[in-house]
A and B are shown apart, each in its own frame.
Chain A
């Protein structure tokens, strides 16, 4: 089937989509947006996190047809929000805080952190950061640097997000 949706502000259409296919598969394999990662395909790791109509979801658990006509924001879209020349402040904070090692979990964490910060005032409390990121697994960093990155992004002057 054909699926049309708005991805990162652009109308995109994928053809020959199999009905049982996930939004994640469509993004990565049909729309050339491999930023969202596929690590588990069962909702456990959060590396495929995208915003669907501004709500964080695991793209691996959304049927492609369910996303038709909806708004999808992926990590690639954050870059675009910041202007193509630079990283988004949340991305930059992950680098500056040393929160990226192998990087596989990073796109999902960045999308989830972006959503948290956009819906928080000031620096969120630690329990709130932990709760927001509870569905994003990282095998490398031990999470401390990730928490640092979120606090860093939240505390930076100007409109970080």
Chain B
């Protein structure tokens, strides 16, 4: 499975092409410097522009284990193979993981969505990666494998710095474990046009309604993209909203959300961001835009919660 030659740039590179997960993991252990390539929508740009000259490419597109997804029995968790593309998240997972499908719809163009994968998004670990806010909001975990074994990394601990993640040099991402939606999910992103934009900022929200009689008082998940060195959660906003919904009996009554609640949630979400000025926008704009996104996504999510409970939508 190894071939070696000199290229147009005169530097040797190996092309490793495993056809099973076991082979892939062994190849990564034997070549810790090898760069995995799935859809190539990040890696090939870097190679085409001479920003990266790895000693080896490790092609993952022939590893069948990576392209499956399944709903693990009982526990309500969906296991997404690292090689699942955006096109498939949209076509196949809109029901189980609506937030992720929404984010996938905003990625690049049809050509990019046909190739780009969730594992590649995590591997690249860009603060602007569109899966990340949704995975944070959902409390997902990344499964990494090496010849030493497998481990689960909570997404909240996966992003270390811009474009740096918690993988060791001998590890591959095999799958992402995402709790299936049990309430409304939303994702919104600001950019200069609809297609083909890196987010100026993005926000994901998920509501996990209280379960009567189970002692589960309900909870809220959030994720912020493109407004910090890594994707971030907004824990204060989550706690505030969960507290209000429980204390005011709103899960139960499905009554309208008072405006001050929407506003406070938006303030707390924006306060969690750590944005910078860059070519896509200023820090101040990002903070402002995040507050708008947080308020809107909450209004949409609460509307759909109320609609699901049969409450009136005009209140």
Which chain A residues have a beta carbon within 8 Å of chain B's beta carbons?
1-2, 16-22, 41-44, 46, 49, 55-58, 60-63, 65-66, 68, 112, 131-132, 134-136
Chain A residue nearest to B9 (CB atoms) is: A18
Asked if B6 is at the interface (CB within 8 A of a chain A CB), the reply is: yes
Q: B4-44: contact bitstring with A at CB < 8 Å (1 yes, 0 no)? A: 11111100011101000000000000000000010111011
Contacts A18-B9, A19-B3, A66-B40: A60 and B115 contacting too (C-beta < 8 A)?
no
A55 to B112, CA, bound (A): 11
Q: Which residues of B contact A68 (CB under 8 A)?
A: 17
Is B109 within 8 A of A46, CB to CB? yes
Is B109 within 8 A of A65, CB to CB? no
Contacts A41-B49, A66-B59: A132 and B110 contacting too (C-beta < 8 A)?
yes
Contacts A20-B7, A66-B37, A135-B112: A61 and B44 contacting too (C-beta < 8 A)?
yes
Q: Which residues of B contact A57 (CB under 8 A)?
A: 111, 114-115
Chain A residue nearest to B50 (CB atoms) is: A20
Give which listed residue, B5, B6, B9, B39, contacts A61 with CB less than 8 A: B39
CB distance from A44 to the nearest CB of B (A): 7
Residues of B in contact (CB 8 Å), total 37
Complex A-B: 29 CB contacts under 8 Å: A1-B3, A1-B5, A1-B15, A2-B3, A17-B5, A18-B13, A19-B3, A19-B56, A20-B7, A20-B13, A20-B57, A41-B45, A41-B49, A43-B44, A43-B109, A43-B112, A49-B111, A55-B87, A55-B114, A58-B111, A61-B39, A61-B115, A62-B44, A65-B57, A66-B59, A68-B17, A132-B110, A134-B109, A135-B196
Asked if B304 is at the interface (CB within 8 A of a chain A CB), the reply is: no
Within 8 A of A (CB), among B95-148: 108-112, 114-115
A40 to B174, CA, bound (A): 31
Is A131 within 8 A of B111, CB to CB? no
Q: Which residues of B contact A131 (CB under 8 A)?
A: 110
Chain B residue nearest to A134 (CB atoms) is: B195
A19 to B47, CA, bound (A): 10
Q: Which residues of A contact B114 (CB under 8 A)?
A: 55-57
A42 to B114, CA, bound (A): 15
Contacts A43-B45, A57-B115, A58-B115: A19 and B40 contacting too (C-beta < 8 A)?
no
Is B108 within 8 A of A19, CB to CB? no
Is B112 within 8 A of A58, CB to CB? yes
Most buried by B among A44, A56, A63: A63
Q: Which residues of B contact A136 (CB under 8 A)?
A: 109
CB distance from A157 to the nearest CB of B (A): 28
Is B110 within 8 A of A134, CB to CB? yes
Q: Which residues of B contact A21 (CB under 8 A)?
A: 7-8
Chain B residue nearest to A116 (CB atoms) is: B110
Is B45 within 8 A of A19, CB to CB? no
Contacts A1-B3, A21-B8: A44 and B115 contacting too (C-beta < 8 A)?
no
CB distance from B302 to the nearest CB of A (A): 28
Asked if B194 is at the interface (CB within 8 A of a chain A CB), the reply is: yes
CB distance from B110 to the nearest CB of A (A): 6
Is A66 within 8 A of B196, CB to CB? no
Contacts A18-B13, A19-B13: A112 and B5 contacting too (C-beta < 8 A)?
no
Q: Which residues of B contact A61 (CB under 8 A)?
A: 39-41, 44-45, 112, 115
A41 to B44, CA, bound (A): 9
Asked if B67 is at the interface (CB within 8 A of a chain A CB), the reply is: no
Give which listed residue, A1, A2, A20, A55, contacts B53 with CB less than 8 A: A20
Is A134 within 8 A of B115, CB to CB? no
Is A43 within 8 A of B13, CB to CB? no
Is A44 within 8 A of B59, CB to CB? no
Asked if B61 is at the interface (CB within 8 A of a chain A CB), the reply is: yes
Q: Which residues of B contact A134 (CB under 8 A)?
A: 109-110, 194-196
A17 to B53, CA, bound (A): 16
A44 to B112, CA, bound (A): 9
Chain A residue nearest to B40 (CB atoms) is: A61
Contacts A61-B44, A62-B40: A56 and B108 contacting too (C-beta < 8 A)?
no
Chain A residue nearest to B110 (CB atoms) is: A135
Contacts A18-B6, A18-B7, A20-B53: A63 and B195 contacting too (C-beta < 8 A)?
no
Is A19 within 8 A of B109, CB to CB? no
Chain A residue nearest to B44 (CB atoms) is: A61
